[in-house]
Chains A and B, each alone.
Chain A
Amino acid sequence: ETGVTQSPTHLIKTRGQQVTLRCSSQSGHNTVSWYQQALGQGPQFIFQYYREEENGRGNFPPRFSGLQFPNYSSELNVNALELDDSALYLCASSRPQGGADTQYFGPGTRLTVL
């Protein structure tokens, strides 16, 4: 167990709806990264938050947005859901240590879009 938690575990939505996924980082970690993992593929970087500011973004459209809170927990919001958004969403927390930080992952949220 890494100490990173995510909720909910599973979620079913219909196309066009909006969804919010939540992540609690490991104690002492101030950075949260979000990844999308389609079935049978490796995770793809969505974005990262460091001290409540976005600190890098992957090749995802603006309908993917996020927040980080003062306690360093984070949310991933996806608007106007599409069928291709069906995936496992992983968050990872870390604490920058001069570049030597390692990301620790949560168990993920499985999103199904019908």
Chain B
Amino acid sequence: AQTVTQSQPEMSVQEAETVTLSCTYDTSESDYYLFWYKQPPSRQMILVIRQEAYKQQNATENRFSVNFQKAAKSFSLKISDSQLGDAAMYFCAYRSREAAGNKLTFGGGTRVLVKP
């Protein structure tokens, strides 16, 4: 079974600066997807960015980018030019592309605090 680990319970960043969130995962599969989701206090889980394991190029979405290291099974998220609205819980998630169904396996989350 796949597992996802987020080792940082909480990260603090000054507004306009950069913060990097760590995520590692364990899998024996070679084809899969990785996601970062944001969950603000409103509770709704919002997709931030997605990475396909067969693509070597790191995904980027505006101020959000990932560093995907397949051999190391590492998938970190960098938030650049942090804004107050970035304050939220961030979850890393794994989805198999080989197994039937498309369940997401989530990590335990990292709380991001943004200081004005």
Q: Which residues of A contact B (CB under 8 A)?
A: 1-2, 31, 33, 35, 40-45, 48, 50, 55-56, 58, 88, 90, 92, 94, 96, 99-108, 110
Q: Which residues of B contact A (CB under 8 A)?
A: 4, 6, 35, 37, 42-47, 50, 52, 91, 93, 97, 100-109
Q: Using CB atoms, name the residue of chain A closest to B109.
A: A42
Hey, which chain A residues are within 8 Å of B46, CB to CB?
A: 2, 105
Contact between B91 and A90, CB atoms less than 8 A apart: no
Contact between A41 and B102, CB atoms less than 8 A apart: no
Contact between B102 and A33, CB atoms less than 8 A apart: yes
Q: Of the candidates A31, A92, A99, which one forms a contact with B45 in the assembled complex, judged by CB atoms under 8 Å apart? A: A92
Greatest chain B CB density within 10 A among A1, A94, A99 is at A99
Q: Using CB atoms, name the residue of chain A closest to B102.
A: A101
Taking the closest CB of chain B, its distance from the CB of A76, in whole angstroms, is: 15
